[in-house]
Amino acid sequence: MTNTAFLEACAAAIGAQHVLTDADDAAPYLGDWRRRYQGAARAVLCPADTAEVAAIVKLAREHRVALVPQGGNTGLAGGATPDASGQQAVLSLRRLNRVREIDPHNNTITAEAGVILADVQTRALEAGRLFPLSLASEGSCTIGGNLSTNAGGTGVLRYGNTRELCLGLEVVTPEGEIWDGLRGLRKDNTGYDLRDLFIGAEGTLGVITAAVMKLHPQPAARVTALAGLGSAYAALDFLALAQRHAGPLLTGFELMSDFCMQLVGRHFPQMRYPFQTRHAQVVLLELSDNESEEHARTLFERLMQTALEEGLVEDAVVAESLAQSQAFWDLREHISLAQSQEGLNVKHDVGVPISRIGQFIEETDAEIAREVPGARMVTFGHLGDGNLHYNVQAPVGGDPKRFLAENEKTLNRIVYDSVQRHRGTISAEHGLGQLKVDEAAHYKSAVELKLMRAIKAALDPLNLMNPGKVLR
Amino acid sequence: MTNTAFLEACAAAIGAQHVLTDADDAAPYLGDWRRRYQGAARAVLCPADTAEVAAIVKLAREHRVALVPQGGNTGLAGGATPDASGQQAVLSLRRLNRVREIDPHNNTITAEAGVILADVQTRALEAGRLFPLSLASEGSCTIGGNLSTNAGGTGVLRYGNTRELCLGLEVVTPEGEIWDGLRGLRKDNTGYDLRDLFIGAEGTLGVITAAVMKLHPQPAARVTALAGLGSAYAALDFLALAQRHAGPLLTGFELMSDFCMQLVGRHFPQMRYPFQTRHAQVVLLELSDNESEEHARTLFERLMQTALEEGLVEDAVVAESLAQSQAFWDLREHISLAQSQEGLNVKHDVGVPISRIGQFIEETDAEIAREVPGARMVTFGHLGDGNLHYNVQAPVGGDPKRFLAENEKTLNRIVYDSVQRHRGTISAEHGLGQLKVDEAAHYKSAVELKLMRAIKAALDPLNLMNPGKVLR
């Protein structure tokens, strides 16, 4: 009866056709993209605008119904999936899909939470600007989800995470009030930074309904290059050299171990390995140049010349065309696909200080070799951000499912303990969601957890905003 | 007696010689730099390290003594000055002055709160890196104060505010516990963004004791140029053009009205006005180039050529030498000094969306001309950040003191109402302190104030951390 009353009130607020209770209608919202989590819900609620979101939050508060905000449902940590109780309601933001304003002189775009990331990129491009956030799911993830998880992606080295791209927010608070913080200002020192508190909170402190995002000038050209190196240590020195030469023009610096390259070659034989010999590590570099392709290429050639002379790189190739630039990126982007083809694996989205990357890989590899013989490390990532996808593939032969079932816990413990020793993070860009909430509680200090809990209790004392995510 | 007990306990914790109660010893800590505020205090407490800060905070809590954290005491909003009651204690962070670590490969420096900003710059330079935060008081302000006020300065266009330069913090909480958030990570999505909550909170949520700050590669050359323009509107188009040409190499874009130039010429006749004729607005541009001075100059010349052809600028001059670059910056930096020479004035540190700057100036000028006849506007600022120092000088002749006494309130109301209409900020880079706490309460929404108060109450329920600042 309470449920009926709640659903009727929701239907009155947003229209009955936007309160999904039919199992088939609701299904796409109840499981996560990686199919790790399957939840249930009283209903999936699809308000059309901010006022309707506020109305729903007020009703949920009145009826003590927990809400699970959801954008494009592409998250990798189960943050947007309801629990199995069937007592929660999914709050889908997809109908909030208007671009409210583009201001080229202010280099900003104001978009509602449900706007697809690729659409933000397109609208920026049409205005002669760049919106640099870019990630694999950009065709279906939403800007609200990007903000709530502080998504990373491939442009972080130069442009920062989603957090650094946001100037202002509109948020529906847990009380159902609308906070209009939609400021398009580069500087504003008038009190607590509420914006950054809601960013990355995964919907546990309120519902982001719109945002003012920063735009950048469109570069005249993007050019990539590949370099073969003897070790991850050499890659660190090479990064410093590249930054000295290119400064902020360096927009990509991706590390890929030789085993990554071997996997790509094995499962995608049409993809050409660009060097004569094997190299322990391959680095992909990208320059975004405001002058010209020629200028970028000249800069690359000078950099590679110096790096070869200093013995930092063993071989290098600069893309001759846009197609070749894309082919280099394809190598990088096919690693995950090649991993899937190769079979089951355990993924880790970790970060350490950039200076520790060589040591982290060496020590962690050695410990895994000792404790979990046969495990094969697939190590790649955004070296320029200190973010490694340190994945572990089951050994050749045997039963990979059984191997992982027996060893996943040990592998996680080894990797995360090593991360902790190097003052790193167990979730660099994917967030905590429900996947890592216990791991986070294990590794965070008591003081930090206490501060987080105090903030959660202050803003959401009824614990109705995405409960069980981020914090327990 | 309570006071004696508190002071004795403090003396036991940090040494009697670091508990200043003598009037002469304490005096430099009790008034603000601009001599707008004069406070009193039980004592000035000077702990040596984080553990001693924690001990003091615990004692203050036990004895219910409010603490006023203070760095270099150069703030412009009275945020570090105690009230007049004599019941508060100043907590000076100056003895926490160690650089704990420089990590060139991670591009980070870990410094304690009391390290002078100029020393952070120097230590970065010695490691072949740039710490880009730069402001007038850099010889005496501290990094802890910069963080607590989220200081801006001249490098924001490219490098961001202090907030954007910080990766991690160490904070003593209002409970006297130490939060070790000293992470040197570019990516870390494991929960609420506590770091950004403490940054800009002006010591009202806890005491920042150390920070991990980002370093950047040292540019090979910095070159400046001046351009004369017909209006602030033209400056907006010129900014967009400059960003398209130079992208992230553009590190400065400062606007100065002709009246600013006239004031500098009048009071510093040795400073050469660089153009043949007057221009309504003069823009100072700076490029930070990773290649060479020659490359920067060529880029500037190409930009100016295009801007002249498109009719955006009326005249332009590119610095031929480091000395000339410095001379251009000197023009900009002498505006405040020339204003002082010219006489009393009211200062406003406001920000609006960059696209609104022309309109903001035009409308606000017109309203002031109507309401406060004779007032002379001295308008300059960081156009690239939307941050204007919109100052008002008393009319020629008459009694400036009386003029300002009679009109300051009206002027502030006109300027801040105009800021509000343009969705701007009444404090772009100086913070609220005690100077603007009531203005902020007037202009902020009830929802925003409620959120801020909820956070303050959650973290500092006894209201002992810099009470009366930021929020009342």
Phi/psi of residue A91, each to 5°?
Answer: -110, 100
| Both tokens assigned to A264 | 């790509």
Residue A466 lies in a domain: no
Averaged pLDDT for residues A187-207: 98
The 10 Å Cβ neighbour count of residue B62 is 12
Same domain, A348 and A332: no
In a domain, A444, yes or no: no
User: Nearest-5° angle of CA A471, CA A384, CA B212?
Assistant: 60
Compute CA B13 distance to the chain's CA centroid, rounded to the nearest angstrom.
33
Query: At which of B184, B217, B250 does a domain end?
Result: B217
Closest Cα in chain A, distance from residue B355 (Å): 5
Residues B321 and B379 in one domain: no
Q: Are B103 and B174 within one domain?
A: yes
Q: Which residues of B22-41 are buried (b: 16+ CB within 10 A; e: fewer)?
A: eeeebeebbbbbeeebebeb
Query: Is there a domain that residue B285 lies in?
Result: yes
8 Å CB contact between B344 and B392: no
- Are A181 and B448 a contacting pair at CB < 8 A? yes
Is the separation of the CB atoms in A236 and A358 below 8 Å? yes
Residue A324 has a pLDDT of 95
Q: Quote the pLDDT of residue B398.
A: 84
Q: Residue B427 domain-assigned?
A: no
Task: Give the SS3 label for residue B431.
Answer: coil
CATH number for the domain that contains residue B395: 3.30.70.2740
Asked whether the beta carbons of residue A447 and residue B106 sit closer than 8 angstroms, the reply is no
The residues, ordered by sequence, that sit 6+ positions from A49 with a Cβ below 8 Å of its Cβ are A95, A96, A112
Q: Taking CB atoms and an 8 Å limit, are B432 and A107 in contact across chains?
A: no
Name the residue of chain A whose CA is nearest to B217's CA.
A244
- As given in the structure block, the two tokens for residue B379 are 């308008």
Residue A141 maps to a domain? yes
Bridge partners of residue A112, in order along the sequence: A210
- Smallest Cβ–Cβ distance between A190 and the set B192, B246, B432 belongs to B432
Q: Which residues of B137-157 are buried (b: 16+ CB within 10 A; e: fewer)?
A: bbeebbbbbbbbbbbbbbbbb
- pLDDT value, residue A398: 84
In the sheet with B108-112, reading across from the earlier edge strand, the strands are B99-103, B108-112, B207-214, B166-172, B178-181
d(CA A158, CA A347): 25
- B207 and B233 inside one domain: no
ipTM associated with this complex: 0.97
- Give me the DSSP letters along A77-111: SSTTS--TTS--EEEE-TT---EEEEETTTTEEEE
pLDDT for res A305:
98
Q: Which domain holds residue A142?
A: 99-217
Segment holding B275, helix H or strand E: none
Sheet with B43-45: list strands edge to edge.
Answer: B19-20, B43-45, B89-92, B67-70
CB within 8 Å: A452 and B186: no
Q: Cβ separation of B353 and A106 shorter than 8 Å?
A: yes
CB half-sphere exposure, A455, CA atoms < 13 A: 23
Say whether B33 sits in a helix, a strand or coil.
coil
Write out the DSSP string of B280-338: SEEEEEEEEESS-HHHHHHHHHHHHHHHHHTTS-SEEEE-SSHHHHHHHHHHHHHHHHH
Measured CA to CA in angstroms, residue B44 lies from B3, B95, B98 at distances of: 13, 12, 21
Does B116 share its domain with B84?
no
A327: left (phi over 0), alpha (psi -120 to 50) or beta: alpha
Residues of chain B under the 50 pLDDT cut:
1
Question: Taking residues A353-368, what's their average pLDDT?
Answer: 97
Mean pLDDT of A336-356: 94
* Cβ-based contacts of A455 with chain B (< 8 Å): 192, 197, 455, 458-459
Cα A166-A215-A432 angle, rounded to 5 deg: 35
- Residue keyed to tokens 């000792």: A370
| Whether B228 contacts B238, CB under 8 Å | no
Exposed/middle/buried for A409, CB within 10 Å: 0-12, 13-18, 19+? exposed
B105 and A352 within 8 Å at the Cβ level: the answer is: no
Do the chains contact at B249 and A244, CB–CB below 8 Å? no
Residue B198 to chain A, least CA–CA distance (Å): 8
Query: Whole-angstrom Cα distance, residue B41 to residue B84?
Result: 8
One domain, residues B249 and B315: yes
Q: Can you tell me the mean pLDDT for A191-197?
A: 98
B451 domain residue, yes or no? no
Same domain, yes or no, for A109 and A190? yes
Among A74, A92, A110, give the residue marking a domain's end.
Answer: A92
Structure tokens at A155: 């442009």
CATH code of residue A166: 3.30.465.10
Contacts of B199 in chain A (CB under 8 A): 193
Chain A contacts of B205, Cβ < 8 Å? 192
Give the chain B residue whose CA is nearest to the CA of A426: B190
CB–CB of B379/B361 below 8 Å? yes
Let me know if residue B176 belongs to a domain. Answer: yes
Alpha-carbon span B433 to B471, nearest angstrom:
9
Measured between CA atoms, the residue of chain A closest to residue B172 is A447
pLDDT at A1 over 60: no
Q: Testing the interface with A: which of B189, B389, B434 to mutate, by most A Cβ within 10 A? A: B189
For position A62, what pLDDT does the model report?
97
User: How large a percentage of chain A has pLDDT more than 90?
Assistant: 95
- Cα B294–B298–B300 angle (5° rounding)? 115
* C-alpha to C-alpha distance for B118 and B138, rounded to whole angstroms: 5
Is the same domain home to B152 and B165? yes
How confident is the model at residue A34, as a pLDDT? 83
**Which of A158, A384, A440 has its CB closest to that of B190?**
A440
pLDDT tens digits, residue range B192-217?
999 999 999 999 999 999 999 999 99
**Do the Cβ atoms of A183 and B459 come within 8 Å?**
no
Q: Are B155 and B133 in contact (CB under 8 A)?
A: yes
Instruction: Please provide residue B258's backbone torsions phi and psi, each rounded to the nearest 5 degrees.
Output: -60, -35
Strands B89-92 and B67-70, by their bridges, are parallel
Which DSSP string corresponds to A350-413?
Answer: EE--GGGHHHHHHHHHHHHHHHSTT-EEEEEEEGGGTEEEEEEEPPSSS-HHHHHHHHHHHHHH
- Residue B430 counted as domain residue: no
Residue type at A141? C
Q: Is A220 helix (H, G, I), strand (E, B) or coil?
A: coil
- Helix B2-14 crosses helix B50-63 at what angle (to 10 degrees)? 170
**How many secondary structure helices (H) and strands (E) does chain B include?**
15, 19
Instruction: Give the other-Cβ count within 10 Å of A442's Cβ.
Output: 12
**A228 shares its domain with A330:** yes
**pLDDT tens-digit profile of A248-300?**
999 999 999 999 999 999 999 999 899 999 999 999 999 999 999 999 999 99
Which has more pLDDT, A306 or A472?
Answer: A306
* Count of structural domains, chain A: 4
Measured between alpha carbons, how far is A120 from A116 in angstroms, rounded to an integer? 7
Nearest-angstrom CA–CA distance, A229 and A248: 23
- Whichever domain contains B54, its CATH number is 3.30.43.10
Query: At residue A65, what are phi and psi to the nearest 5 degrees?
Result: -105, 130
Contact A423 B457 (CB under 8 A): no
Nearest CB to B189 within list A246, A427, A454: A427
Same domain membership, residue B256 and residue B206: no
E strand residue ranges, B153-243 = 166-172, 178-181, 207-214, 216-217, 221-229
Q: Which of B2, B75, B39 is nearest to B467 (CA)?
A: B39
Q: How many CB atoms lie within 10 A of CB A319?
A: 25
Q: How far apart are CA B84 and CA B39, in angstroms?
A: 4
Q: In angstroms, rounded to a whole number, what is the distance separating the alpha carbons of residues A248 and A158?
A: 6
What is the reported pLDDT for A2? Answer: 73
With an 8 Å Cβ cutoff, are A187 and B161 in contact? yes
Could you tell me the two tokens for A111?
């978009």
Question: B187, B217, B247: which is the final residue of a domain?
Answer: B217
Token readout for A90 is 């999914």
Chain A residues with CB-CB distance to B444 below 8 A: 190-191
Q: Model-level pTM?
A: 0.97
Burial class of residue B402 (count of CB atoms within 10 Å of its CB; 0-12, 13-18, 19+): exposed
Owner of token pair 């010209």 = A292
Residue A269 maps to which CATH number? Answer: 3.30.70.2190
CA distance A451 to A455: 6
Average pLDDT over all residues of chain A: 96
Instruction: Say whether both B85 and B107 belong to one domain.
Output: no
Interatomic CA distance for residues B304 and B298, integer angstroms: 10
| Ramachandran region, residue A191 (left: φ > 0; alpha: ψ -120 to 50; beta: rest) | left
Phi-psi region of A397 (alpha: psi -120 to 50; beta: other; left: phi over 0): left
Chain A: residue whose CA lies nearest to B291: A245
Shared domain check, A82 and A18: yes
Determine contact, residues B431/B464, Cβ cutoff 8 Å. no
Nearest CA distance, B176 vs chain A (angstrom): 10
Please give the average per-residue pLDDT across A174-188, as a whole number. 98
Give the chain A residue whose CA is nearest to the CA of B233.
Answer: A105
- Counting one residue from chain A and one from chain B, the pairs whose CB atoms sit within 8 A come to 288
Within 10 angstroms of residue A405's Cβ, the number of other Cβ atoms is 11
